[in-house]
Amino acid sequence: MPLPSSSLLIWGIAAVAIQGILFRPWRVPEYVWALGAALLLVLTGLLPLQGAAWAIAQGKEVYLFLAGMMVLAELARQEGLFDWLALYAVRHARGSGRRLFDLVFLVGTLVTIFLSNDATAVVLTPAVYAACRAARTDPLPYLFVCAFIANAASFVLPISNPANLVVFGSHMPSLWDWLRQFTLPSLGAIVATYLALRFTQRRHIAMPVAVQLEPRTLSAEGRLCALGVAATGIALLVTSALQGPLGWVTFAAGLATLLAVHLRRRSTPLPVLRHVAWGVLPLVAGLFVLVEAVAQTGVIRLAAQALESVAQASPTAAGWWAGLAAAGLSNLANNLPIGLVAGSVGQMADLPMQARAALLIGVDLGPNLSVTGSLATMLWLLALRREGQQVSALGFLRLGLWVMPPALVLALLLLG
């Protein structure tokens, strides 16, 4: 274990990196803060190079998953699939903002469940923005749905969140065991999130939306892209049931769809690849390195021992402590590295299944307070900036305080 002075330096570097990622001083991209902190830890000798390399390698499945999903989303955007879906949604809203809100929530829930919360952030967010632009209405109330449902519905299935891969690792439960454990808590979180968002946005969505819209046909390449998105969802569901490698499947599906579309068009895929937000990958890698450095201070082992002691006295209390702690820490340091910590705690401590499940719920659902709490929310924020929309960390927190706590409490109650 490092000396106390080394531990203080590690915690100091981690704190500066987290603040930089959260508030983006001087508009420096988030990944620069994470990578800069990781590099500083190695250069100062606080973390051996081998340890940093090992930490980066732990995220292999997550990198592949994200790369495949981001390529698929950018391809869909450029082929006009989003605009076509947007017009379809607005037509079915029939002039009602409330009906449009419900439709966005339903689609966001389904996309999160079957394609992951990151897909909701990168695929659905531009579509919802396009729908609101077509409907000539304020997009933010509907865009908030994309952010919050991406986390609230992210533990319905193992494929619903890359953080699930991190928390359970090679010890992923079977699909049947997963559904038996998480179905009721998931339903509770989704319903609570819907009610909170519907209440807080009630005045905005009461405004009527445009009805008369020009019809638009989807090109052959757009239809091929839609087929690729659907095939990816089916492949992920089957792979999850077979407990296969979700990252490789997503990457292969995204690449195959990209090549199929551009072979049909006989054009280069470089324009798609240039517009993918590749900075997300080094951001995730840097966060994994930060967690490895913090783990060397011994804090994870102490947390595991403390939680095990609570579990021996009361499994129910251990579940509540685990879920609440994971939720709070995910908002401070991002749920992917906290998911890695939770996975380490689960391996170090002899915990009942209720406590392990509560850790996952805290990691998945808890980050709905902070714009940097989950990778999905950060991707959502990037998608908003791309469309010229801005949401401050404080503004997101104000809404999150209405949405997240009731959903988390209800999910943990139903878990018990």
The pLDDT, as a whole number, for residue 368 is 94
Radius of gyration (Cα) for the chain, nearest Å? 21
So where are the chain's domains? 4-415
Distance, CA of 313 to CA of 308 (rounded, Å): 9
Higher-confidence residue: 85 or 406? 406
CA 90 to chain centre: 26
Contact 173, 199 (CB under 8 A): no
Task: State the pLDDT at residue 145.
Answer: 94
Using CA atoms, how far apart are residues 181 and 361, in angstroms rounded to an integer?
A: 11
Q: What gap in Å lies between CA 365 and CA 148, rounded to an integer?
A: 9
> Residue 400 pLDDT more than 80?
yes
Whether the predicted pLDDT of 76 surpasses 90:
no
Contacts for 196-203 with beta carbons within 8 Å, 24 or more apart? 196/402, 196/403, 196/406, 196/407, 197/101, 197/105, 197/144, 197/145, 197/148, 197/403, 198/101, 199/402, 200/399, 200/402, 200/403, 201/101, 201/141, 201/144
Calpha distance 25→290 (Å, rounded)? 20
How large is the average pLDDT for residues 118-145?
86
Q: Measure the CA–CA gap between 130 and 52, rounded to whole angstroms.
A: 41
Task: Report the distance separating Cα 89 and Cα 92, nearest Å.
Answer: 5
In angstroms, the CA 304 to CA 351 distance is: 9
Residue range 311-332: average pLDDT? 89
Average pLDDT over residues 106-115: 87
The more confident residue out of 213 and 201 is 201
pLDDT band at 214 (very low <50, low <70, confident <90, very high): low
Q: Compute the mean pLDDT over every residue in the chain, rounded to the nearest whole number.
A: 87
- The amino acid that residue 80 corresponds to is G
pLDDT at 390 over 50: yes
**CA separation for the pair 305, 348 (Å, rounded):** 8
